[in-house]
Structure 1
Amino acid sequence: MPPPAPLRICFFGDSMVNGTGDDACLGWVGRACAAARRGGRDLTCYNLGIRRDTSADVLARWQGEADRRLPPEHDGRLVFSFGANDCCEGEDAGVRVAPHRVLANAETILATALKRRPTLMVGPFPICDPAVDRRTALLSAELAALCARLGVPFLEVFAIAAGSAAWVGEVAAGDGAHPNAGGYALVAQAFDLWPAWRRWLDAA
């Protein structure tokens, strides 16, 4: 049996996708993809996380950025993760992007993505600000329901990170919003064990 075709995977989102705060500059995305390569899976990882990006920012940019990296003849995949920045203080209903707009943006992104490439979504992350995190936890549940309706596998990471001493401690010791290597390693492990991700890696 021939080996699986090489994968090209675009990860879109915010600073938590980027891995901001990690002294190793890997974040959870780099760690998960490195583990896949160590396991023998030929993949190219495009980390397209941008600090402060909201769902509206991702909606505006993802298609053009994906097209440049995923030629039609290659096995390309899409992973999205956003939401915490939307929940930060702003002018739209007191937040940067109102919840109903986040869900509309997410539905447009995911519905379009599904027509183009296999797609996964990772839920939004806590930043250890009580007010923001309350809103983010609610948004995560709403995004999970949206993904279930659309048929997009969804990985809930908010509770994993918020309940981790490593994540919370590193956020407190760092910039007050982002963890370091230990927190990201925890999420990378959860992502690596996620059946939806494993199916991508194991598919022939």
Structure 2
Amino acid sequence: MTVRPLRVCVFGDSFVAGVGDPAHRGWVGRVAERALAELPVDLTVYNLGIRRDTSSDVRARWPSEALARFSREYDNRMIVSFGVNDTTLQNGTLRVEPAESESNLAAILDVAASRGWPTLVVGPPPIADEQQNARTAALDERLAALCHAHTVPYLHTFSHLVGATSWMREADRGDGAHPGAQGYTDLADLVCADITAWLGTSADSVGGRV
């Protein structure tokens, strides 16, 4: 069996980086481990999460970081996940307005599509702050609608993790935002099947390799 060389860049914030996980695996490491066990691929996953990054920060840095890791001989994919830092108040104002968050994601998706890099988006999770969660929930729906218009898969996490969940309990016991190992395991459980199925599909069938 031919082993497909698959390279995946995961761009985002501290939740992508796995901040709070004592094993430093986060949801990205857990999903990568399971996907590698299930798929006949030569898989390399680059975790490119940066703490406090907003959608504007990711938009500014992602092209050069992807180009440094991708090659025409690979099946190159991108996973993008941000939003919580966009909805954070700084000096009384949002760090990124919702319309700008949408514009940032649209620009990322358009450039990725033009390069033939299939993209999947993981929505922002909740934190231990009800007021910010209301803003994040609204942004989550806006980003999902944008992805639908771009025919890009969007995986909701907010509605599954908010409430009486391990994610929220660990975030509340920690720094108010980041969970521990169980919270990241629960998020990985939410998205793993969809991400693995997407990675297992040929690039041509998911809009890649133009």
Q: TM-score, normalised by structure 1?
A: 0.93
Q: 1:116-144 CA distances to partner (integer Å, 9 max, x unpaired)?
A: 20110011111221111110000000000
Aligned-pair distance for 1:42? 2.6
Distance in 1 of aligned mates of 2:167 and 2:58: 25
| C-alpha deviation, 1:203, in angstroms | 4.4
Q: Letter of the 2:105 partner, please give it.
A: A
Equivalent position of 1:12 in the other structure: 11
CA contact (8 A) 1:128 1:168 kept: yes
Query: What is the number of equivalent residue pairs in this alignment?
Result: 201
In the TM superposition, residue 94 of structure 1 has moved relative to its aligned partner by 1.9
Which letter maps to 2:98?
P
Task: Give the distance between the partners of 2:57 and 2:163, measured in 1 at CA.
Answer: 29
Matches within 5 A, 1:1-204: 2-40=1-39, 41-90=41-90, 94-116=93-115, 117-163=117-163, 165-194=165-194, 197-201=196-200, 203=202
The root-mean-square deviation of aligned C-alpha atoms, in Å, is 1.6
CA deviations over 1:119-175 (Å, ceiling 9, x no partner): 100111112211111100000000000000011100011111113521011111111
Deviation at 1:202, TM superposition (A): 5.3
Alpha-carbon separation, structure 2, partners of 1:95 and 1:131:
12
Distance 2:128 2:95 in 1: 17
The aligned amino acid for 1:28 is W
Tell me, which stretches of 5 or more residues in structure 2 are unaligned?
204-210
Structure 1 SS opposite 2:48:
strand
Considering fraction of residues, name the structure with more helix: 1
Equivalent AA in structure 1 for residue 103 of structure 2: A
Stretch moving more, 156-165 or 27-36:
156-165
The secondary structure found in structure 2 opposite 1:144 is helix
Residues 64-101 of structure 1 show CA distances to partners (whole Å, capped at 9, x for unaligned) of 0000011122111000000000000025x820011111
What is the CA–CA distance in structure 1 between the aligned matches of 2:184 and 2:13, rounded to whole Å?
Answer: 14
Give the superposition deviation at 1:4.
4.2
Partner SS state of residue 69, structure 1: coil
Deviating 4+ runs (over 2 angstroms): 38-42, 201-204
